[in-house]
Amino acid sequence: MERFSLGPSVGGDTMTVPSYAYHGSEEFNARFHDTVQAVAKDVEEALGDNLLGLVLGGGYGRGEGAVINEAGVEQPYNDLDFLLVVQHPGDVDQATIARIKTHHETLTPLHVDFTQPMTVQDLQKWPAWLMWHDFLNGHIVSSGDPQLLHKHVPKSVAGTLAPIEACRLLINRGAGLLWAMRIDRGLENKEDADFIKRNYWKCALALGDALLISHDSYATSYRGRDKRFKELSHKFADISELDIVPFYDDALHFKFSPHEVTKPFDILEMGVLTSRVFLYIEQRRFKRSWADHQAYAKWKGLREPEEHVPSKWTRNLYKAYRLGEYGWRYPIESVYRALPGLLYNTKRPGWEHESDRCLQLWKGLMGVPINEH
pLDDT mean over 112-118: 95
- The number of distinct structural domains making up the chain is 2
Q: Does any domain span residue 372?
A: no
Query: For residue 336, what are the CA distances in angstroms to 104, 302, 359?
Result: 38, 10, 11
Q: Does any domain span residue 83?
A: yes
Q: What is the pLDDT of residues 319-339, one digit of tens each?
A: 999 999 988 899 999 999 999
Q: Does any domain span residue 1?
A: no
Last residue of a domain, one of 121, 153, 185: 153
Mention every residue, 6+ apart, whose C-beta is less than 8 A from residue 205: 173, 248, 251, 252, 254, 255
Q: Which domain holds residue 134?
A: 17-153
Alpha helices in 49-194 (DSSP H): 58-61, 94-107, 120-123, 130-137, 148-152, 164-184
280: how many CB neighbours lie within 10 A of its CB? Answer: 19
52, 79 contact by CB (below 8 A): no
Last residue of a domain, one of 153, 179, 203: 153
Q: Does any domain span residue 3?
A: no
Quick check: 7 pLDDT over 60? no
Q: Does any domain span residue 291?
A: yes
Quick check: 174 pLDDT over 50? yes
Of 12-21, 30-39, 47-56, which range is least confident? 12-21
Query: For residue 333, what are the CA distances in angstroms to 110, 160, 292, 337?
Result: 34, 24, 18, 6
Average pLDDT of the chain to the nearest whole number: 91
Residue 111 belongs to a domain with what CATH number? Answer: 3.30.460.10
Q: Does any domain span residue 7?
A: no
Q: What is the pLDDT of residue 370?
A: 52
Residues 172 and 96 placed together within one structural domain of the fold: no
